Copies of this chain bind each other. A is one copy, B any other.
Amino acid sequence: MSMKVLVILVCLLSAGRAVADEGMWTFDAFPSDEIERRYGFRPDARWLEHVRLSSVRLPLGCSGSFVSPAGLVLTNHHCAHQCLEHVSTSRADRVRDGFLARARRAEPRCPDLEVEQLVAITDVTEQVRGETAGLEGPRHLEVLRALAARLERECQASSPRRRCELVSLYHGALHHLYAYRLFSDVRLVFAPELAIAAFGGDPDNFMFPRYDLDVAFLRAYEDGAPARLDHWLRWSASGPREGELTFVSGHPGATDRQLTVAELEYQRDVALPEELLELAERRGLLTEFQRRGPEQRRFSGPALSLLENSYKELRGEVEALRAPKFFAARVAAEQALRARLAADPESARRTLPAFDAIARAVEERRKLHRKLHYVEWGGAFSGRLFEMARTLVRGAVERQKPDGQRYPEFHDSAIPAVTERLFSRAPIHDELEAVLLEHSLSKLRENLGVDDPFVRKVLGKRSPEELAGALVRRTRLKDVRLRKALWVGGEAAVNASRDPMIELARRIDADGRALRQRYEEQVEAVLRQSGEIVARARFALGGAASYPDATFTLRLSHGRVEGFEEDGRPVRPFTRLGGAFERATGRDPFALPASWLRARPRLDLSTPFNFCTSNDIVGGNSGSPVIDREARVVGLAFDGNIHSLGGTYGFEEKLNRTVALDSAAILEALEKIYRADRLLQELRAERGD
């Protein structure tokens, strides 16, 4: 539906405030007029360019910002987590204990971290339409994929420091080519202890009130020296005031706000519940696995944390869809859209059949769901070992094809990420691999049934425990040299391999491909093409007054510092440093680090710590700067409240809140707890107040 229709409906239904801060706007279509009307401040082209060039994208779904001319990057602790693992040694656990580089030469490199700065947006909609005109279904998809690969390749040809990406906005109503300046040498400057970065752990995740110092500073280097920048954000020592206008500039990962009702029902009734049940069971398994011993606790910890985060996210999403008012509003909005389209015979003829085509494709998707999940999407074969076997087997075949005809995950542009993961030296733990693989094999049997031919093919007469144990024990894929040899050796090497995990991946490859083809032809292609028809119709009606669904590309949201109501009780928008000490129990995950306990007498406990705003953000925005109208950093977005999780499907203005770390708390902690004088000096040199 048009977002306007939704906004109006939501307002009608939720009654009260007339103005919503909904929207993840692209920088080239920001509603500055509307902001001026509402807040008396107009972000002009210069302001927007400055903020855009000060914003950066990080891998693994994170955002950040430049906060000094010498390449200093502000982001979340949890966005630097992998780097902290990398720079840890057996004697120094940087994740647990944090890190501070006291001199520039002590800033260690983060091997897998890159930073991308959006430097140009080119509209290629006409070209894409021209080359795909008249194509149907799978052929349309194939040509689009080939075109994307070509446009990206041509765009990045000019420089190795340029990365390009074809972005479909409004579900294909617009196609833009985004060009990034790439900073591939990124180093670590500062991170606090995990215990305060994620104080409250899973119980407090996605909650507010909150007390987290979820911050890390990195530095972008070029040619071995700190990058020299023309645009960076100044620092506000005081943080924001309640009610103050705030902007968040960052990279919301993915939203599904334009789905039809049929697609939403599929999410609500099939996709999300099935995944949640599987996560829940694996969560119980890992929780108990942790008790096998301290070593097992350590190496299974990250997997459990990641899982708990996904679990909470998906649960929030499905609960949003299950809220009767929310769903009723979506149904009404779609009816309103269809009524508008039906009013004109020509638009009715062109657009209305697309809704039915989507409904039929969703029906097919429901039928395919479990088989796809287990056979092709890896649901039956948990663990890193099978994943690597699958990559080797698939990759050997796919890489022989022309770029545009491959599965997208093996496009030339994706290969660096594939090999990065495939050749990773991160340790693999047999004990955990075997437990996860056994569990997923037993879920395969449970969900497709003992008599399913694929289940019989995989298990034969063996039990899941037996098969998983034998595979993990006998495979040699833990050896990175073997993986490299198989990758380099290609199809011949892979076909000659007698490694049991490779043999398994090979034996089931055709089953997965057949299912995927059926899915791509009968579901994906239809949803894409019919979805584009609906999206264009919607765009034609709503146009620039609406924003596109999130695509992990740069967006700007507006909002203000504002609390909310929980179960009828008001929740104030700020917490204070003192609150963390009150909340602490001394037991994980509510144990403050020793540095905090020691520094307590020195701290100004009334310093604002975390705050919440009505900005519309989702996962991917982690690490985004919260800025004021002067484009000064007043906070650092690191989370949303529990109601923000429904943001995937729509914005609930009365409840959805961004959760951020106050810029004043960062200064107070750097000064009085971490004594990070060099960093403070750099930030204060760039202070905007």
Contact = CB atoms under 8 A, between A and B. Distances in A.
Interface of A: 200, 202-204, 207, 209, 265, 269-270, 273, 276-278, 280-289, 315, 318, 322, 324, 435, 439, 445-446, 449-451, 461-463, 466, 583, 585-588, 590
Contacts of A446: 202-203
Smallest CB-CB A-B distances: 8 pairs: A284-B284, A284-B285, A288-B288, A280-B280, A281-B284, A269-B322, A461-B585, A463-B587
A254 to B, nearest CB: 23
A203 B464 CA distance: 12
What is the count of identical protomers in the complex?
A: 2
A101 to B, nearest CB: 34
A585 B284 contact: no
26 contacts: A200-B450, A202-B446, A203-B445, A203-B449, A203-B450, A207-B449, A207-B450, A273-B318, A277-B277, A277-B280, A277-B315, A278-B280, A280-B281, A282-B284, A284-B284, A284-B286, A284-B287, A284-B439, A285-B285, A286-B288, A287-B439, A288-B435, A450-B583, A461-B586, A461-B587, A462-B587
B585 A463 contact: yes
Contacts of A209: 451
Contacts of A463: 585, 587-588
Given A277-B277, A281-B281, 18 more contacts: A203-B446, A204-B450, A207-B449, A270-B322, A273-B273, A273-B322, A276-B277, A281-B287, A283-B284, A284-B286, A284-B288, A285-B288, A288-B288, A450-B583, A461-B585, A462-B587, A463-B585, A463-B588
Looking at chain A's contact residues, the main secondary structure is: helix
Contact of A287 (B207, B285, B451): B285
Contacts of A435: 288
A374 to B, nearest CB: 14
Contacts of A278: 280
A590 B465 CA distance: 13
A466 B277 contact: no
A180 B213 CA distance: 67
Nearest to A290: B288
A284 B273 contact: no
A209 to B, nearest CB: 7
Contacts of A449: 203, 207
A270 B319 CA distance: 9
Nearest to A363: B324
Nearest to A276: B277
Contacts of A285: 284-285, 287-288
A588 B461 CA distance: 11
Contacts of A450: 200, 203-204, 207, 583, 590
A289 B284 CA distance: 10
B324 A265 contact: yes
A69 to B, nearest CB: 41
Given A273-B273, A587-B466, A280 B288 contact: no
Nearest to A459: B585
Contacts of A269: 322
A450 B466 CA distance: 42
Contacts of A200: 450
Contacts of A286: 284, 288
Contacts of A461: 585-587
Nearest to A278: B280
A435 B204 CA distance: 22
Nearest to A466: B587
Contacts of A466: 587
Nearest to A289: B288
Q: Among A273, A276, A583, which residue has the most Cβ atoms of chain B within 10 A?
A: A273
